[in-house]
């Protein structure tokens, strides 16, 4: 019986070829946009997470009186004698700031790094909060960063996994960073706060330890703006709530692009939802017309003993078939569009050094399945009311009004 109903639904679709093809095309277009949009938005989101983080922080908060070298990207604080309390920004509870990463920096000589008289910047960071160091890793050991590990800036030589002696203490080269164009970042030797603190005695030598290596002290902070906050608002909030600090703002264009793109993605999502809703309405109107046209047939089915559920089943099967096929075609079209996208825009972006990270395959398959299921659900919702209303009517009324 199921096969007969399926065959009935298939043949009914074939009976009105042009209309069925248009319906399938409309659903394919909608589900293709939903599938492609979802994959691209997730991919752009992932790429933004890496790409924009690589653009650096929006602001740097350092002790008042510190000398700062303004660079295109705020990736690292500058070395100096002045320090801040590590919890000074957390205490101020600034809503205009998003992620905040503290850094400690100590400029040392005779450390064993590089040539004998070469100075080196030892930069401590918190791996779990950092967003300006680890995104630049171009190679690393396949495990989390741990105590005793160091990350070398782009111009430092060192083989991954090899031993690096700093003030005679052995450290493991955990990773290497890419070129950033920021001198301190490229020449730096990065490590966790704990690793840097463990070097305190050696760095101080016979004299006092650098002030920044005292517990609870940092050289400064790198911060991102909260969504919607402007650099001016954040600067005002920091200066009015935290005493003794200087705020260095990064390139406001980058903050604007970051926030603008996030808003654009939200806008695209809203448009996709609207398009989906309008497609659902269109399918509903179309199936309403189809049910009206088929009243005699439905009446006949009732007359020969079809139950209400079976009458509904015939129409729902037909709708699921049409919209499901539309969903599958939409996913295939979406894949083709993305291949085109990959060969053009993504290829260009990667050539100019902007990474584009596609969502992983399981998630892409989940999106494809979701788009097909969603298309079928639209079909079911579209046909459900008209078919339900028809199934409630007397068989004789249906036969008479459709004959």
Partner 1 sequence: MLSCRSLRKSYVSERGEVLAVDGIDLDVEAGRYAAIIGRSGSGKSSLMAMVGGLSRPSDGSVVIDGTDIWGLSDDKLAAFRNRRLGFVFQFASLLPTLRLVDNVALPALLGKRGDADIYGKAATLLARMGLGDHLDAYPSECSAGEQRRAAIARALINDPVLLLADEPTSDLDEQTEIEIMDELLAVNRELGTTLVLVTHNLALAEQAGQIVHIAGGTIAS
**Contact positions vs partner 1 (CB under 8 A):** 1, 4, 7-8, 11-12, 14-15, 297, 300-310, 394-397, 399, 403
SS3 110: coil
Q: How far apart are CB 28 and partner 1 at their closest, in Å?
A: 24
Closer to partner 1 at the Cβ: 106 or 314?
314
Closest CA to 220 of 238, 202, 200: 238
Question: Kind and range of the H or E element at 137?
Answer: strand 137-140
- Distance (Å, whole) CA 195 – CA 398: 82
Residue 256: partners with Cβ closer than 8 Å, 6 or more residues away: none
Q: Which is nearer to partner 1, 179 or 308 (CB)?
A: 308
Smallest gap from residue 22 Cβ to partner 1 (A) = 19
CA dist 21 and 156 (Å) reads: 63
Supply the minimum distance, in Å, between the C-beta of residue 299 and partner 1: 8
Closest CB 387 distance from partner 1, rounded Å: 15
Q: In whole angstroms, give the CA distance from residue 199 to residue 196.
A: 5
Structure tokens at 222: 């790198």
Closer of 360 and 394 to partner 1 (Cβ): 394
348: left (phi over 0), alpha (psi -120 to 50) or beta: alpha
Cα–Cα dist 167/204, whole Å: 11
Instruction: Count CB atoms within 10 A of the CB of residue 18.
Output: 7
Which of 307/343 has CB closer to partner 1? 307
Angle formed by the axes of helices 17-54 and 308-341, nearest 10°? 50
Kindly give, in sequence order, each residue whose CB lies less than 8 Å from that of residue 390, ignoring residues fewer than 6 positions away: 291, 295, 298, 311, 315, 398
Q: Which residues have C-beta within 8 Å of that of residue 239, sequence separation ≥ 6?
A: 245, 247
Please, is 153 exposed, middle or buried when counting C-beta atoms within 10 Å of its C-beta (0-12, 13-18, 19+)? buried
The whole-angstrom separation of Cα 77 and Cα 104 is: 8
Shortest reach from residue 15's CB to partner 1, in Å: 6
The DSSP string of 317-353 is HHHHHHHHHHHHHHHHHHHHHHHHHIIIIIHHHHHTT
Min dist CB 398 to partner 1, Å, is: 9
- Report in angstroms how near the CB of residue 264 gets to partner 1 at its nearest: 48
Q: Is 249 left (phi over 0), alpha (psi -120 to 50) or beta?
A: beta
Closer CB to partner 1, 45 or 297, in the complex: 297
- Min. distance of Cβ 24 from partner 1 in angstroms? 18
Q: Which is nearer to partner 1, 85 or 297 (CB)?
A: 297
Q: Which is nearer to partner 1, 352 or 403 (CB)?
A: 403
| CB nearer partner 1, residue 7 or residue 344 | 7
Residue 300 CB, shortest distance to partner 1, in Å, is 5
In the complex, the smallest distance separating the C-beta of residue 312 from partner 1, rounded to whole angstroms, is 12
Report the residue number, 251 or 297, with the smaller CB distance to partner 1: 297
Nearer CB in complex with partner 1: 185/302: 302
Q: Report whether 110 contacts 116 (CB < 8 A).
A: yes
Both tokens of 339, joined, read 């291949």
């Amino acid at each position: 019986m199921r096969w007969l109903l399926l065959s009935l639904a298939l043949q009914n679709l074939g009976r009105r070829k042009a209309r069925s093809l248009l319906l399938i095309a409309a659903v394919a277009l909608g589900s293709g946009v939903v599938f492609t949009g979802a994959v691209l938005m997730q991919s752009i989101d992932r790429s933004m997470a890496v790409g924009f983080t690589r653009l650096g922080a929006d602001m740097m908060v350092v002790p008042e009186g510190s000398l700062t070298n303004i660079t295109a990207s705020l990736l690292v604080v500058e070395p100096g004698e002045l320090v801040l309390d590590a919890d000074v920004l957390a205490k101020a509870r600034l809503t205009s700031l998003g992620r905040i990463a503290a850094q400690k920096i100590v400029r040392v000589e005779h450390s064993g790094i590089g040539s004998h008289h070469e100075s080196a910047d030892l930069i401590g960071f918190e791996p779990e909060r950092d967003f300006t160091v680890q995104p630049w890793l171009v190679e690393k050991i396949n495990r989390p960063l741990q105590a005793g590990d160091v990350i070398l800036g782009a111009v430092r030589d060192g083989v991954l996994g090899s031993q690096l002696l700093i003030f005679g203490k052995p450290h493991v080269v955990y990773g290497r960073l890419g070129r950033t164009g920021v001198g301190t970042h490229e020449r730096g030797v990065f490590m966790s706060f704990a690793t840097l603190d463990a070097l305190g005695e050696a760095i101080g030598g016979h004299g006092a330890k650098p002030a920044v290596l005292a517990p609870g002290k940092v050289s400064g902070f790198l911060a991102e703006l909260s969504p919607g906050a402007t650099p001016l608002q954040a600067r005002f909030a920091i200066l009015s709530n935290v005493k003794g600090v200087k705020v260095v703002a990064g390139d406001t264009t980058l903050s604007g692009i970051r926030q603008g793109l996030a808003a654009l993605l939200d806008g695209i999502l809203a448009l996709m939802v609207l398009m989906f809703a309008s497609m659902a309405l269109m399918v509903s109107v179309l199936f309403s017309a189809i049910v009206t046209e088929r009243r005699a047939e439905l009446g006949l089915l009732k007359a020969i003993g079809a139950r209400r559920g079976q009458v509904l089943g015939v129409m729902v099967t037909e709708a699921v078939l049409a919209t499901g096929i539309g969903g599958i075609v939409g996913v295939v079209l979406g894949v083709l569009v993305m291949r085109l996208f990959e060969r053009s825009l993504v290829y260009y972006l990667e050539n100019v050094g902007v990474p584009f990270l596609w969502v992983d395959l399981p998630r892409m398959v989940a999106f494809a399945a979701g788009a097909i299921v969603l298309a079928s659900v639209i079909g079911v919702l579209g046909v459900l009311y008209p078919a339900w209303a028809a199934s409630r009517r007397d068989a004789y009324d249906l036969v008479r009004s459709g004959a």
